Amino acid sequence: MVKASTVALATVSTLALVGIGYALYFDQKRRNDPAFRRKLRKERKKLVKAAKTKEEIDKSEAVNSINAALDAISNETFPVSVEEKEKYFMEQVAKGETLFAQGEAGFQDAAICFFRALKVYPSPVELVMIYQKTVPEPVFNLVMAMMSLDVKRKQERYYEVFPPAEMNVKIGEISTGKTEDGKQVIRRALVADKDFSAGDILFEEDPVVSGLLPKLEGQDFCNFCLKQISSGEAVHCKNCDTVVFCSSTCHKTAADQYHQYLCPGKDDIDTKEHAFLDYASENNVKYPTMIARFLATMVYEETTKTPTGKDDEYNTWDHIERLRYLEVQASDKEKKEIELLKGLLGPKVPGIDEFVTEERYLTLKGKLLYNAYGVQTIATGDKEFEASSEDCRELPNGKSVGTALYRAASYLYKASSPNIKVTFPSRTHRLTVTATKAISKGDELTVSYNEDIKKSDVKEPEEEKNDEAVEIDVEQVEIEQTQDGGIEATITQETIVVSKE
């Protein structure tokens, strides 16, 4: 009688021989049969393609899932009072902890809770550091993925909402050629969003900030809107003799936005305010004062805006950071300006010393040097005054009494045969753009102005970087869908930008 073990052994031996035989046959075919080799290559490519397609589909579905969560969160109303924010924060963190304790099935919902908590926490950077130490790695990675996508979405959406539709223009992408490796070089410029005839007004625009020539301060030009003031109509600051205004409205607006920080007073001439203004006057420069006004106005906007519980779309800084700028090298002059600026605003604006870094100051100054327009508001008489040596877009046929920086007009490029002109018909810093010839929808808008700038010194903005934010070095977020329909985020190397707000 044949034992079962003998049968099993014989079976295994037979299978082994068959396996070896097939392997030998397969190897021989692979070596000697070209058609067989081609078939194998095709099958391998097909399998790789199928695996790649599945991976791409999984990643796409995962990203769509996170985008859907971000869409839902963007429509939510967040608490506005400190007490409500604290309560909401504690609720979301507790809920997130409960969810991730359930295991992988609760990771995505837990990440959404932690992301919501991040939205109301006063110091997001600090909270991210806490998350990194206390939250399970898969959940933390999902939170970082949501942050990364949220920043990217905001950046991409900017040019969809700015300029606003009523301005009849938009910011388009203009191809300027190709790099050596064949990639297209794109610049952003202002284009018409409808047809215009010669003489049509395309839009009017108030500046982000403007500044009068120091030598004209306190005489017959408004410190706020730069309008020439008729004799006897000047409105004076009750606390100083250094500036005048054309109306009580301009006086109040300036006082609220920036003059409360810059006013030197009448009694003591040995003050930080006087030192700052004396430097500007002695060197005949406007930009240090304009930077001080800009920063003060940002503080005013943040402290006076009404909380809505919704994510604010874009603030003034978001507009400015997207502008091209002139590269400015740090010199003793700039270092002195930074020192004076910190001395002026530091005691009055908490945190300004940390905010005004050398890099940030030089970038702001570079944006003014490249984008600011000379403002022509002389209405009567032939004024004689010393022009500033600072670069600006000096318009033809007029004399500039100061300069101003504009959100939309900064995207106008210079041309020898322009299709628009920039003027100041209200004799204030309010700018008007008028067509000088027929313009079709989609045409780039160009203007004539004088400048003395080397193209090599002009820098493109770093749009992925938010100077009103903090960069956190984490890894690159790879998102993919798991077999059970969940989402998994894997981090390699990346810098995540976290808003301070």
- What are the domain boundaries of the chain? 59-161+468-499, 201-459
Between 332-345 and 287-304, two packed helices, what is the crossing angle to 10 degrees? 30
Q: Is 238 helix (H, G, I), strand (E, B) or coil?
A: coil
Ranges 8-22, 210-224, 235-249: which has the least confidence:
8-22
Is residue 479 predicted with pLDDT exceeding 50? no
pTM: 0.74
Distance CA 112, CA 70 (A): 9
Model confidence at 63: pLDDT above 80: no
Mean of per-residue pLDDT scores for the chain: 83
* Per-residue model confidence as pLDDT tens digits over 76-128: 888 888 899 999 999 999 999 999 999 988 999 999 999 999 988 988 888 99
DSSP assignments along 212-234, one per residue: E-GGGTTSSB-TTT--B--TT-P
More confident residue, 478 or 178: 178
- Chain segment 326-344, per-residue pLDDT in tens: 999 999 999 999 999 999 9
User: 227 with 244: CB under 8 angstroms?
Assistant: no
Backbone angles phi, psi at 491, to 5 degrees: -105, 130
Q: How confident is the model at residue 350 (pLDDT cuts 50, 70, 90)?
A: confident
